[in-house]
Structure 1
Amino acid sequence: MTDDTATPAPAPARPASRRRALLPDLTPWRASADFRRMWLAGLVTNFGSFLTLVALPVQLKELTGSAAAVGAIGAVELVPLLVCGLYGGALADALDKRRLILGTEAGLGLLSAVLLVNAVLPRPLVWPLYAVAALSSALAAVQRPALDALLPRVVAHEHLTAAISLNSLRWTVGGVAGPAVAGIVVAYAGLGWAYAADALTFAVSVALGWRLAAAPAAREAARPSLRAIAEGARYAWGRKELLGTYAVDLAAMFFAMPLAVLPFLADELDAAWSLGLMYASLPAGSLLVSLTSGWTSRVHRHGLMVVLAAAGWGLAVVAAGAVREVWLVLLFLTVAGGCDMVSGIFRGAIWNQTIPDALRGRLAGIELLSYSAGPQLGQVRAGGTAALLGIRTSIWTGGAACAAAVGALAVFLPALMHYDARTNEHALSRRAAT
């Protein structure tokens, strides 16, 4: 006998509702004018920076013909990154973040102009390429902690995961369009046009950033010093879930970042036309994830997602290095880019939802080392291994080492695997403070 008063079963979700659940959450864009300005400025400069990301290694390849010389870009960028990233984090806590962002953005634009001048010389020089790479790394390392520390101030705590996803979307749009256009620009117009466009994007970004509200230091923020940097490092060491995010990303980027050898891989596949597409494939995968990122706000086991996505990145790079058909290489690089974006979204959620405001800049400096030093070291590893063992071996062995390292870290850092945004004491404390 049936119960006529029973609550009827819910109707199946309509296709339109399911699509809306996948689309990016635009709440931070609608709620914060400063977030919109930061997003647009970042979109413009990301596009230009990806033009240079392609043009610089191509120019080094043309001038030297050496994979090791291209990989050495990572080495010259590493020391400024290490030094300035940590000190930049202390500066971000102690100074007005808006002024710091504007000053470094203008400096980066001037360095792009130097690359343009060198490119149009009758005989372009090699050493300015390394010098500009080092100085750009220093300025970007000072700027990035200020950008990261500003985000929780302009976006509500409950909207941070959505804001991180939107920032990822911004990065990937530039990452797809920039390399694809750069491949055409470099091949048909010349390196100078790529560098000129990059310099112009920085000018546009400074104009947008000028309208940001002032972002002075927190009252309890420490003055920039070695002691202040050490205080941030001690805090990070005491938070094993944070330590796990840094270690996993560092391992993934060091072992499996293939960018330095892509120009040589395109030549080996007899597909020079595919170089721009190779550079675009990684951000294309990231873009696909960003465009369907609505689901990320409903995930709470952020640490588990970081581990799974980083292991997936490594396995996709193994496949990209093993196959011989260029279209399969592009496919697996796209899959790798998607995995990297998933990892990045949930690392960012852990960082932004749990770190106190007074330490945000210094912890952002440490974060910068984990997600920037890894790719720089990875370029050196990839170039050196390719010179010794070959291009393909450099790629697939790096991916395999990445997957193995991530698995080991998951075992030895269980706090990362068990992190849950609904129960973590630091996440709950930050939510109560906002």
Structure 2
Amino acid sequence: MQMHSPRTRIRPPCRRGCTVTAAPPTVRRRILADLTPLRTSAHFRRLWFGNTVSWIGQGMTTLAISLQVYDLTGSTFSVGLVGLFSMVPLLVFGLYGGAVADTVDRRKLGLGSATGSAVLSAALAAAAFADFHHLALLYAIVALQAVCQALNAPARSSMIPRLLPPEQLPAANALASMTTTSGTLVGPMLGGFIVGLWGYRAAYLIDAVTFSAALYAMWRLPAMLPDRGEGDARRASVLDGLRFLGTRPILRMTFFSDLCAMVLAHPRALLPAVAVVWYGGDARTTGLLVAAPAIGALLGGVFSGWQGRIRRHGLAVLLAVASWGTAIAVFGLTRNLWLGVFFLALAGFSDTVSMVFRNTMLQAAVPDDMRGRLQGVFIVVVAGGPRLGDFLAGSVAELTTPTVAVTGGGVACVVAVSLLALRWRGFARYDARRPVP
């Protein structure tokens, strides 16, 4: 279908001797998020709105479950197990979910997995209304919700290149980053407020209802069968996807660069200690430090209008990851709280820029019948990298000091991504106008 730019629209003739000139791009278009994907595609618009609403609901449930587990056990270890029961299914089923997304109708897979998540949230609400408070049930539902997410995310991400032209993918991914960050920021805040007023049952019930927006968006989509070659009816294999990735160094670099940031320079596990030792603060200081990267990430999505004009996506990823590492390293050296918050927010901003271009490369440069499996790898890296980073930061800080762990990790990130860029120079030369994996 031929697309017409708003600037080429024919204007009526001027009747009073005035001079008609093309209006220059506004500041909003240059700086703020590009809303073109929302205007041009009703399917994407519904999908984005539905995902945003459901992500906020899931954020509410995540906090509510943690609070309920603590009320039942009084144990922080038991609360920590909630993350484990969520992470393991994501790691195990992430690759499998990508393979399924390359085999079946992605619309049906997305609709089925979203329905499963909605049913599980309804089960949480029903158990709360029935005063059926059992730890095993909460853990089981958390694990099953992670399985649904592992099936849903590759299908949903693989749909986007079928709904939008390639030049709109950076804007679409920037909008998607705002969805994710809103869920991690707004969801828990609303969850705490609602649990405090009306209890767990209200938070779970609202979460179940919010899934209706995502379900409606999926239901309205057309069929999304993978685009296989004529006569090619082979079942999609996880191993085939990994073999494909093994022969594509540019695509591998999208994962390696992210691992440099998330494994080597991820100080989240140290923030409670840092809040006390460096800033003489308390739990509120810890909350501020934890929120700072998320706020920066949200700003990275809000002020993303410039990203659509970038063509060297690989170079943008390298610079963004180096910026993350530099910001973390400087954070480790400052002892002023507000400077520390600023550099953590800068790191979060850089992470959003990196994510937007990495995901765009995976969507644009990967054949349609491989997109699900590569998105599955993306999920595994995103879910597993920060956990490895928490373990590494905690271990180094225990053996040395938090300063060495944080600043050393930031420097190691910059050095590692620089060495990778030298090893695979084609990554920096990647051109979005010719998306070759």
Per the normalisation by structure 1, the TM-score is 0.80
Matches of 2:222 and 2:64, distance apart in 1: 35
Q: Is the 8 A contact 1:183 1:275 kept in 2?
A: no
Are 1:315 and 2:326 matched, yes or no? yes
1:214 aligns with 2:196: no
1:369 aligns with 2:380: yes
1:296 to 284, 287, 307: 307
* Inter-partner Cα distance in structure 1 for 2:129 and 2:114: 24
Aligned partner of 2:31 in structure 1 is 22
Residue identity matched to 1:110 = V
Q: In the alignment, which residue of structure 1 is the partner of 2:8?
A: none
Q: Report the alpha carbon displacement of residue 272 of structure 1 after superposing the two structures with TM.
A: 2.8
- 1:108-153 alpha-carbon deviations (Å, 9 max, x no partner): 2333445557778989655555444433322211111101110111
Structure 2 gaps of 5+ residues are 1-21
Give the length in aligned residue pairs: 411
Query: 2:416 aligns to what?
Result: 405
Question: Do 2:91 and 2:383's aligned partners in 1 also have CA atoms closer than 8 Å?
Answer: no
**1:45 shift after superposition:** 1.5
2:247 corresponds to: 238
Moved more, 382-391 or 244-253: 382-391
Give the superposition deviation at 1:352: 1.5
Work out the CA distance in 2 between the residues paired with 1:210 and 1:39. Answer: 14
Distance in 2, Cα, partners of 1:286 & 1:194:
25
Question: Which residue in the other structure is 2:99 paired with?
Answer: 90
Q: Is the 8 A contact 1:71 1:260 kept in 2?
A: no
Cα separation, 1, equivalents of 2:372 and 2:211: 23
Choose 200-209 or 384-393, whichever is displaced more: 384-393
CA distance in 1, matches of 2:33, 2:366: 24
Q: Structure 1 residues 382 and 124 mapped into 2: Cα distance closer, same or farther (>3 Å)?
A: farther
- Quick one: structure 1 residues 326 and 339, their matched pair in 2 at CA, closer, same or farther if it must change by over 3 Å? same
Give 1:198's aligned residue. Answer: 207
User: Aligned ranges for residues 423-434 of structure 1 at < 5 Å?
Assistant: 423-425=434-436
CA distance in 2, matches of 1:358, 1:22: 35
Asked if the contact 2:49–2:213 (Cα under 8 Å) also holds between the matched residues in 1, the reply is no
- 1:270 and 1:87, CA in 2 relative to 1: closer, same or farther beyond 3 A? same
Verify the 8 A CA contact 2:43 2:217 in the aligned structure 1. no
Q: Do structure 1's residue 177 and structure 2's residue 158 form an aligned pair?
A: no
Structure-2 separation of matches of 1:127 and 1:388: 36
The letter for the 2-side match of 1:336 is A
1:104 aligns with 2:102: no
Instruction: Give the match's secondary structure for 1:210.
Output: helix
Pairwise CA distance, 1:167: 1.9
Q: Distance in 2 between matches of 1:16 and 1:332?
A: 31
Distance 1:413 1:338, change over 3 A: same
Measured in 1, the distance between the counterparts of 2:212 and 2:162 equals 25
Counterpart residue identity of residue 373, structure 2: R
- SS in structure 2 of the partner of residue 109 of structure 1: helix
Q: Determine if contact 1:77/1:376 at 8 Å carries over to the other structure.
A: no
User: What amino acid is aligned across from residue 148 of structure 1 in structure 2?
Assistant: S
**Which structure dedicates a bigger proportion of its chain to helix?**
1
> How far is the alpha carbon of 1:31 from its aligned partner?
1.5
Q: Which amino acid aligns with 2:317?
A: V
> Deviation string for 1:149-207 (max 9, x for gaps)?
10111111222222222222333344442244345456666555544433332233223
Please show how residues 338-353 of structure 1 align to structure 2 within 5 Å: 338-353=349-364
Give TM-score, length-normalised by structure 2: 0.80
Deviation larger for 72-81 or 263-272: 263-272
Q: Which runs of 5+ in 1 are unaligned?
A: 1-12, 427-434
User: Match for 1:353: what amino acid?
Assistant: A
d(CA) in 2 for partners of 1:333, 1:105:
33
Q: Distance in 1 between matches of 2:349 and 2:226?
A: 35
Q: Which one of 283, 290, 293 corresponds to residue 282 of structure 1?
A: 293
**3-state SS in 1 of match to 2:433:** coil
Match of 2:432 among 421, 426, 434: 421
CA distance in 1, matches of 2:87, 2:186: 27
1:103-182 → structure 2 map (5 Å cutoff): 103-113=112-122, 126-182=135-191
Q: 1:117 to 1:320 in 2, by over 3 A?
A: farther
What percent of counterpart residues are identical? 39
The superposition leaves residues 302-323 of structure 1 with CA deviations (integer Å, 9 ceiling, x where unpaired) of 1111122122223333444555
How many Å apart are 1:229 and its aligned residue?
1.9
